[in-house]
Amino acid sequence: MIRGRPILRSVGLFTALLIGLPACSVPRTPEARRIAPDGIPPFLQNQVKQRPVYLLRGPRLTPVLMPVPLSLSPEKTVEGLLDLLRTPLTVELRRSYASRLERLPNSIEGYDVKLNAVVGDLVTLDVTDSTGIDDQDPSALGQLVLTITSVPGFARVDFVKNGKRLSQVRTGFGVDQAFVATPVRKESFDQPIAVSHAPLFFVKNGRLRPIEVNFDGSDPSDSALYTAQLYLAALEDESNLEGAPAGYRSLLPGLDATITEDAVGNLVLSFGEKYRKLSSADQALAVGQIVQSLRLATQIPTLPTIALVVAGKTVGTLDPASYQDLVDSVVDSSEPTDVLDPTTTSTSAP
C-alpha cells in the first residue's frame, strides 16, 4: 500500500501542470467564427494548378497546359472546368499553339453542358439542352471526358439527356468510329496529339529559309496526304510567323492552294487564278515553300513528283529536288537561335 503513494503524487503533479498550461484546443464560443484566409492551412485551400485542357485542332484533340482552379468541392472543380472550356481563347494562346485551336461553343450557340452530380470518381453531365453533344459527337465528348479525367480523383464521366442516361457514346469518326458503354474512361478515346514544333520554309530576301514554328502537326501513323495538308495549312497561316525574325513571310495566303491525291495515290498541288499573277520567281518560291517543307516531314520519307494544277488546268509536274537551289545556305549571325541552320538540308550556295 505504501508503494502506491509516489504514483498518486506523480499523477496529481501532472494534473496540476496541465491546468496551468495555456489552452491548446479550439476555443469554445457560442457561435461560429469566420477564419481569415491566411489562417487556413495551405493543404485545405483551393488551388490553381497547370493541368492539361483538351482543345480541338480540326477533328483531333490536343492537350494544352492551362491554369485550372481546383476546389475543395468536387462540384465546383467540374463547374470550373466547364467554364474554362467555354471561355474564348486568348490571343496569346492562339499565337503560341495555332490559330485553329477551339473549345466547346458557349451555351448561347447551342452547347449547354451542366453538371448533374459527382459521386466518388464518377462525374455525370447533363446535355439535355445541347445540340450535337450526344453519342454522335466524339470530339465534344472527348474534350469533356479527357479534360475532366485529367484531374486526380475523377476517373469516369457519364452523360444524361432528357432525364435518361446515355447507354453508349461514339469515340471516333469514320473507320475509327467505335461505340463504348457509359460511363466513359479516358482510355476509350484515341490518344490525342501534341502541338507540333517543326521546321517549315518561309521566304526572306527572295530565298527560302526554314524556321521552327508551332503548327497542326501529324503523328507518325498519318498518311502522306494528311500530313501534306496540315503542312500546307501551317504555311498559309500567317499567325505562325508571329514572333519570328523580321523579314520572314509566306507567299501562299490568298493563292487558294490545295493538296489532293490522284487515282493512283500521287500528290496533286492546285492553285487558284491568283497564282498566275505572281512573277515567275515568286511562283517558284511559293511552290518551294511547300515542297521543301514536305521534304522535312518524317511522315513522308520520299517526296515523288507532284502534279501541278492552276485554275483547274493541269500545267505539268514538279520535281521537288529542283527547288533545292532556292534554299538560302547562309543565316545572319544577328538572328535568334531558334532559326535553324539550313546548311543541314541544303547543298547549294546562294
Local confidence band at 25 (pLDDT 50, 70, 90 cut-offs): very low
Long-range contact set of residues 339-346: C-beta below 8 Å, sequence gap at least 24: 339/209, 339/211, 339/212, 339/245, 340/199, 340/210, 340/211, 340/212, 342/208, 342/209, 342/210, 345/210, 345/292, 345/295, 345/296
Q: What share of the chain is helix, strand, coil (3-state, %, to 5)?
A: 30, 25, 40
3-state secondary structure of 44: helix
> What is the rounded CA–CA span in Å between residue 345 and residue 199?
11
pLDDT at residue 121 is higher than 90: yes
| Residue 58, all three cell numbers | 480540326
Q: Which of 227, 230, 235, 188 is nearest to 210 (CA)?
A: 235
CB 36 within 8 Å of CB 14 = no
Contact between 251 and 202 (Cβ < 8 Å): no
Is 303 within 8 Å of 259 (Cβ atoms)? Answer: no
Q: What is the mean pLDDT of residues 256-264?
A: 92
Question: What tens digit of pLDDT does each residue of 183-227 get?
Answer: 999 888 766 655 566 789 999 999 999 988 776 655 666 788 888
Mean local confidence (pLDDT), 264-281: 95
pLDDT of residue 348: 29
pLDDT beyond 80 at 123 = yes
Residue 155 is predicted with a pLDDT of 94
Q: How many CB atoms lie within 10 A of CB 160?
A: 17
The residue with greater pLDDT, 312 or 105, is 312
Neighbours of 215 (CB within 10 A): 22
Residue 133 reports pLDDT greater than 80: no
Tens of pLDDT along 30-39?
555 555 545 5
Cis ω for the linkage preceding 183 (within 30 of 0) = yes
Angle at 69 (CA atoms; ends 66, 70), nearest 5 degrees: 120
The Cα–Cα gap between 196 and 95 comes to 13
Q: At what angle do helices 138-149 and 74-86 cross, to 10 degrees?
A: 140
Q: If you search the block for the grid coordinates 538560302, which residue do you land on?
A: 328
CA angle 85, 221, 327 (to 5 degrees): 95
Q: How many residues does the chain have?
A: 350
Task: Supply the mean pLDDT for the chain.
Answer: 77
CA distance 178 to 334: 53
Chain centroid, CA 91 distance in Å: 15
- Calpha distance 259→155 (Å, rounded): 41
Rg, the chain, Cα only: 30
User: Distance between CA 145 and CA 139 in Å, rounded?
Assistant: 10
- Tell me what the mean pLDDT of segment 164-168 comes to: 88
